[in-house]
């Protein structure tokens, strides 16, 4: 049978080597939804103007249709001096594209936005590009390859399948799966390799440091020394967030002005800190204080070090020149510099 695949079926998800076992109706490609605008009073526009906005998105197949509900804001340069745009998240994107014009017909400027965000703040400091996005065709049903599905239920050498099942075994695997004498009832001692076997009812041995347990449809193997690994939030406000990867859930953090302080209890290990820095409000630099637990050592060969990277939230690009420097007097802190103040920044420390 012949199947035509359309983007609307999976709301923009890319499809590779798809095989279907029935008739599929082609659908349209869906535009990003819930595109709205709110007038802002904390922008930097000083001249009166009216701006129209529309939104699209791209992935490796091309460009989504533009939103049909173009939104506009009239700026008076005193009270209304900015615009906040929001929309609904869509998965598997390369980036969002926001276009801007002055009459709702001609779109003379554009910016690209990270696929991880669902808002943009036009406060007069965004780096708009003149012109319009070119070279990207709109995704339609013709963006997908026409394929012919194969009825696997009748292929020679495949065993155990019935109509509408999507899994099959060759003769050797089918014999292993159905022969009780060849299936393992239990495993004791150290196991380094398992081939051709099905694990079920796996569990953790009390007090063991290296365990395996059944987690839904997956076997989770834990190799640990002294504890599990946890990722959780330590700072959450309307404009900034911070998350740690740690051996326990007892790490806390607080920001005072341009200093972030981690409180790490004894016997707790922190492997990383990721967060969101509101550079347009807080500035281009900040200090990170990690405390004296595992951090403060006078011996130069045992001082705490870190890896560091920062990204622009509006484009997702790495920030060239951003750095984190160890304080050579107070070994428990780092100074971050070189963040652009035109955009919110994402940062990541690896310890």
List the chain domain ranges.
36-141, 193-223, 230-350
The CA distance from 1 to 155, in Å, is 15
Angstrom CA distances, 28 to 11, 19, 23, stand at 9, 20, 16
Angstrom CA distances, 259 to 57, 64, 191, stand at 36, 42, 48
Residue 350 has which token pair?
Answer: 């690896």
CA-closest candidate to residue 258, choices 283, 235, 234: 283
Pair 112, 96: CB distance under 8 Å = yes
Contacts of 10 (CB under 8 A, 6+ apart): none
Pair 274, 305: CB distance under 8 Å = no
The CA distance from 134 to 273, in Å, is 38
pLDDT at res. 75: 86
Sign, CA torsion 121/122/124/128: positive
The CA distance from 106 to 110, in Å, is 12
pLDDT at res. 261: 93
pLDDT at res. 330: 78
pLDDT at res. 313: 93
pTM, 2 dp: 0.38
The CA distance from 130 to 262, in Å, is 43
Going residue by residue through the chain, which has 351 residues, state the pLDDT in tens, using 9 for 90 and above: 333 333 333 444 444 444 444 444 444 566 778 888 888 888 888 888 899 999 888 887 777 788 877 788 888 888 888 999 998 888 778 888 899 988 888 888 888 889 888 999 998 888 888 887 765 555 554 444 444 455 555 555 555 555 555 455 666 776 666 665 544 555 555 555 555 555 555 544 544 455 555 555 555 555 555 557 899 999 998 888 999 998 889 999 999 999 999 998 887 888 899 999 999 999 999 999 987 665 544 454 455 678 899 999 999 999 999 999 988 777 788 999 999 999 999 999 987
If you search the block for the tokens 């990204």, which residue do you land on? 311
């Amino acid at each position: 049978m012949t199947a035509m695949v359309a983007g609307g079926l999976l709301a923009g998800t890319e499809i590779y080597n798809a095989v279907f076992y029935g008739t599929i109706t082609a659908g349209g490609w869906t535009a990003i939804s819930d595109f709205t605008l709110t007038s802002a009073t904390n922008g930097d526009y000083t001249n009166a103007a009216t701006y129209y906005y529309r939104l699209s998105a791209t992935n490796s197949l091309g460009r989504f249709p533009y939103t049909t509900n173009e939104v506009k804001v009239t700026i008076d340069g005193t009270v209304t001096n900015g615009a906040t745009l929001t929309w609904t998240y869509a998965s598997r994107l390369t980036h969002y594209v926001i276009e801007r014009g002055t009459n709702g017909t001609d779109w003379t400027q554009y910016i690209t936005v990270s696929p991880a965000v669902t808002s943009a703040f036009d406060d007069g400091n965004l780096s708009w590009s003149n012109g319009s996005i070119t070279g990207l065709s709109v995704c339609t049903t013709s963006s997908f390859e026409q394929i012919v599905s194969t009825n696997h239920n009748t292929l020679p050498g495949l065993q155990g399948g019935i109509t509408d099942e999507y899994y099959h075994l060759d003769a050797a695997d089918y014999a292993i799966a159905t022969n009780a004498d060849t299936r393992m009832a239990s495993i004791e001692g150290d196991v380094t390799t398992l081939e051709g076997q099905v694990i079920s009812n796996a569990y953790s041995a009390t007090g063991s440091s290296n365990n395996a347990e059944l987690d839904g449809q997956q076997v989770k193997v834990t190799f640990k020394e002294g504890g599990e690994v946890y990722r959780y939030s330590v700072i959450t406000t309307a404009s900034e967030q911070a998350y740690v990867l740690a051996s326990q859930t007892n790490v806390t953090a607080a920001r005072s002005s341009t200093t972030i302080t981690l409180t790490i209890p004894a016997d707790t290990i922190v492997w990383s800190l990721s967060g969101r820095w509101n550079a347009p409000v807080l500035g281009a630099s900040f200090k990170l204080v990690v405390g004296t637990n595992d951090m403060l050592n006078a011996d130069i060969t045992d001082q705490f070090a870190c890896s560091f990277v920062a990204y622009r939230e509006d484009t997702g690009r790495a920030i060239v020149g951003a750095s984190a420097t160890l304080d050579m007097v107070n070994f428990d802190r780092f100074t971050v510099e070189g963040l652009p103040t035109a955009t919110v920044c994402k940062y990541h420390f690896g310890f």
